[in-house]
Amino acid sequence: MSEQDQTRRLLDIMAALRDPVTGCPWDREQDFASIAPYTIEEACEVADAIARDDLEALPDELGDLLLQVVYHSRLAEERGLFDYADVARTIADKMVRRHPHVFGDETVAPGFWEASKAAERRHRKVDGALAGVAVTLPALARAGKLSARAARVGFDWPDAPRILDKLDEEIAELRAELPRPDRNADPARIADELGDVLFTVANLARKLGIDPEACLRQANEKFTRRFEAMEQIAEAAGNSFADLDLEAMEELWRAIKSRKNP
């Protein structure tokens, strides 16, 4: 079947699932809000397949994500708002509009891309440098995007060392809120200061040209790999890892870190 035929088949399948009489009971009950979490989950699973270089799984994951687009489009069509063709046309028009150097004769001036997106936000009556940064993004990724938007209008540190200085300042403020023998800690204040630390870290990653989400994913994988190695070493020695004291655990951790590829 052609691409057009396969697309039509998928749209017909979704229409059948949503049929008020013969459709699937679960699918008939869904709305934009109930489907949105699945949309985010499927996008994450696409990213996960790419991160694992699992290209065999990628078509399946992309299909799951495409289904989300079809699902939302069908919900909108039922309300008379828009349909799948409108979605496809909107993004196609946007790509042509944003790439005049490819689809026209214009020379792209510096800052054209951002100016184009700003004009689109104004058209949608969404104003402000931070407008349009999705609140449903992972918090670390959103922090990076928010700081990048602010930087475009000049609100930024001049270089990474200055952000490191700011990070030291935020850590000191966090340390000052920790409990002491003479004072109870305020969990709300600790959370606020820790949030400032994390936001500054995201800012630092942006300044260094590094994706903070990718960095954290890598750190998560490294920690998982090292921790599981410690468990295996303990088990091979006839011990339960959970029964080891902290000093023994630290010794294993140092041993794992000293390996060539920890």
The predicted-structure confidence for 131-140, as pLDDT tens digits, reads as follows 888 887 888 8
Check residues 147 and 259 and name the one with the higher pLDDT. 147
Residue type, 235: E
Which residues contact residue 221 at a Cβ distance below 8 angstroms, ignoring those fewer than 6 apart?
none
Least confident among 44-53, 82-91, 190-199: 44-53
Which residue from 115, 89, 88, 82 is spatially nearest to 100, judged by alpha carbons?
Answer: 115
DSSP string, 34-66: HHHHHHHHHHHHHHHHHHTT-TTTHHHHHHHHH
- pLDDT for residue 105: 67
Q: Which residues of 75-104 are buried (b: 16+ CB within 10 A; e: fewer)?
A: bbbeeeeeebeeeeeeeeeeeeebeeeeee
Q: What integer pLDDT is reported at residue 35 of this predicted model? A: 95
Which residues, in sequence order, are CB contacts of 103 under 8 Å at separation 6+?
A: 96
- Residue 207 is encoded by which pair of tokens? 């300044």
d(CA 224, CA 129): 38
Which long-range contacts does 226-234 make (Cβ < 8 Å, 24+ apart)?
226/253, 226/256, 226/257, 226/262, 229/256, 229/262, 230/256
pTM: 0.64
198 pLDDT higher than 70: yes
201-246 pLDDT, tens digit per residue, is 999 999 999 988 888 988 999 999 999 999 999 999 999 999 999 9
Query: What is the CATH topology of the domain spanning 139-210?
Result: Helix Hairpins (1.10.287)
Judged against a pLDDT cut of 70, whether residue 261 lies above it is answered with yes
Judge residue 158's burial from the number of C-beta atoms within 10 Å of its C-beta, 0-12 exposed, 13-18 middle, 19 or more buried.
Answer: exposed
**Residue that is written with structure tokens 């992972």 in the block:** 138
180 beta partners:
183
Q: Is residue 190's pLDDT more than 70? A: yes
For domain 3-82, which architecture applies?
A: Orthogonal Bundle (1.10)
Where does the pLDDT of residue 114 fall: very low under 50, low under 70, confident under 90, or very high at 90 and above?
A: low
Two tokens at 91?
Answer: 């993004």
